[in-house]
Structure 1
């Protein structure tokens, strides 16, 4: 179904630069798919820890965290789209950062606080590998040698870096210069990554990470997607999906552990970029109907992404205690039920935490431009 409630904060992206705004439900659908991929990635780990007699989630799902790469491309697309028309004014950069900060930080702080509470009150329930991390750095999304206390927050560190660079562009650049700035950023990233190597400071590792290429690819798609001939849209969408699955299968067969980050950015970033480009161009031209459930998962994808680790940890322990963790059908039931519980918990978090946080800032009816800029 294409109709959505006007009260959602994660409403489908509206692009402001066209006579008839382009509304992309496909962005929400891809967000939902990306979040579910990350859920399956962590479910595979828990199944291996608590299950018996082999895993149903095979080696391919060790690379289901490629949903993160899809998130990064989507983020780049959204950021250059909502920033259209706002370049060259420092105050717009401040507004951009304030909106991004309010969109990302309060819910992240809430779930990080849950980790801190578990560490203090129930140390056995928390991941002891990260108990030496700086709590302040974790809250501030400052790069550290290890993952932040809320492990999935590592992706938000890369997001924050991207937001900062976008804010600089909004403050001082002209919109026509943006493609060259993005390409220059890509070249500088590759040069720094090749020169710096391993053993550098955590902040330098983030700044030189090839994962930035995925944001850049999404940003360029946000600028040029209209130029793609409509006939190429669906083949690119399907080709991106096939290539993403093929990359996961290839890495499952070729690498016992995750590949170097540059190879990851290429193997996962290119298919993700094709998916996003094909999806938005196809939807704009054909306006297909997308499953309402998948759109609902997309609406709550940020809450699902931040909160699913708590659900999976709890259900895994309950599964082990039940003793129903041996037969394949028991594994299948555990996986299916945990995915359902994760989705429900994510939706509840979106409905009762994330959505009120956004409503709290609305003291008056926002303008159309504000609504467009608040999208992600």
Structure 2
């Protein structure tokens, strides 16, 4: 939001998330740190649930329930798939021209087509319980997009249905918390592979973001601004950084410490962006450098491993030089993907992430009881994780 830093702030939080992912995927081979960077994906999931639920709850339409759901799915496809298709095409070309890349262009294309299936790619990649990265290389990291698709094929239907039945945002938030707690508790008995890559624990994280969005939406327009001691978001951000840097590589601490820490810290940091006094964390996460990284985080996530994997076995070239070349290619491909395949498909929409809703005339929701009104100022749609 112009002048307030709130939307810049959320972009800054995306930068923290993608920075954590880059740490675990790029640096753990060279330094004994950054194993905790896996929680970057958890941050993305919580943030995605917060944004998508806010958008859906504040939407206003005369469509049927099925029509609203199809409209939402179409928007997500238009928003996410151009860059994803660009990834598959670009990776095929890259592997075709890089000598000794380890995979043929045909193999990359076949795996890319599986990735474009999204909702089936995560299961198609499972091979006797082994890690799915080898089965999907160089697209193994797209498993997280597939998990999101599972969630967003179901959650909008439930959310829009209860809203039409007159449920309040607060009541729906309670439901979200209960489902999230059940998903997380049920996931704790799963083996490490299924806990990490399966949808149940991830649904819990997304639902935590959904619940926060609904609790904030339940606040009346004339409610006093949120109050939060600046030390609280600062402690949350420090805890995230320390975990990213110092967490061990073993899976045990992740499910018992990493996931609860990532979810709780992300919720606190999001709330700090909506508090009356922003404090140093909001100032930091609204910094132009962090917000710029956050804006391109989707394309950066798509491309951050592909050149690295393609160049890792090129002979007669020093490894440090290959590393520099790979990082340079990631940067160039990220900028190109964002400029050509993301920005043209960003559509102007109501300022739904504003902490206040400005009363205005609008088309009433079908069978809607709530008096919440959509705002009138404009901004750009933001991507999911």
| Normalised TM-score (structure 2) | 0.69
Distance 1:249 1:295, change over 3 A: closer
Inter-partner Cα distance in structure 2 for 1:262 and 1:117: 42
Distance 1:109 1:117, change over 3 A: same
Shift of 1:341: 5.6
Question: Superposed, which structure 2 residues align to 1:61-80 within 5 Å?
Answer: 61-80=34-53
Tell me, yes or no, if the aligned pair for 2:296 and 2:335 is still in contact at 8 Å.
Answer: yes
Inter-partner Cα distance in structure 2 for 1:342 and 1:105: 19
Tell me, yes or no, if the aligned pair for 1:39 and 1:339 is still in contact at 8 Å.
Answer: no
Inter-partner Cα distance in structure 2 for 1:119 and 1:291: 36
Tell me, yes or no, if the aligned pair for 1:93 and 1:170 is still in contact at 8 Å.
Answer: no
- Correspondence for 2:295: 299
Distance 1:354 1:24, change over 3 A: closer
Tell me, yes or no, if the aligned pair for 1:70 and 1:269 is still in contact at 8 Å.
Answer: yes
Which of these residues, 209, 212, 235, is aligned with residue 203 of structure 2?
Answer: 212
Match of 2:58, SS? coil
- Correspondence for 1:97: 73
Q: Which has the higher helix share?
A: 1
- Correspondence for 1:32: 15
Question: Superposed, which structure 2 residues align to 1:1-376 within 5 Å?
Answer: 23-44=6-27, 48=29, 55=30, 58-86=31-59, 89-116=65-92, 124-126=100-102, 136-141=113-118, 142=120, 143-144=122-123, 145=126, 146-147=132-133, 148-149=136-137, 150-174=139-163, 175-176=167-168, 177-190=171-184, 192-193=186-187, 197-198=190-191, 206-208=198-200, 210-225=201-216, 230-232=226-228, 234-252=230-248, 255-256=249-250, 259=253, 261=255, 263-281=257-275, 288=283, 290-313=286-309, 321-323=316-318, 325=320, 342-356=330-344, 358=345, 374-376=381-383
Shift of 1:124: 4.0
Root-mean-square deviation (CA, aligned residues, Å) is 4.1
Inter-partner Cα distance in structure 2 for 1:29 and 1:164: 28
Tell me, yes or no, if the aligned pair for 1:89 and 1:170 is still in contact at 8 Å.
Answer: no
Inter-partner Cα distance in structure 1 for 2:213 and 2:22: 27
Inter-partner Cα distance in structure 1 for 2:78 and 2:260: 31
Any gaps of 5 or more consecutive residues in structure 2?
A: 127-131, 352-373
Any gaps of 5 or more consecutive residues in structure 1?
A: 5-20, 49-54
Match of 1:173, SS? helix
Distance 1:93 1:69, change over 3 A: same
Tell me, yes or no, if the aligned pair for 1:69 and 1:214 is still in contact at 8 Å.
Answer: yes
Name the count of aligned residue pairs.
329
Tell me, yes or no, if the aligned pair for 1:81 and 1:223 is still in contact at 8 Å.
Answer: yes
Match of 2:57, SS? coil
Q: Deviations over 1:273-312 (max 9, x none)?
A: 3222223436779984832222222211111110121343
Q: Deviations over 1:227-270 (max 9, x none)?
A: 89754253232111111123235523xx4467554554223322
Q: Deviations over 1:171-226 (max 9, x none)?
A: 4112524213312321331354256x3499x7997342x22222122122222346
Distance 1:140 1:372, change over 3 A: farther
Distance 1:121 1:323, change over 3 A: closer
Shift of 1:39: 2.1
Inter-partner Cα distance in structure 1 for 2:54 and 2:278: 14
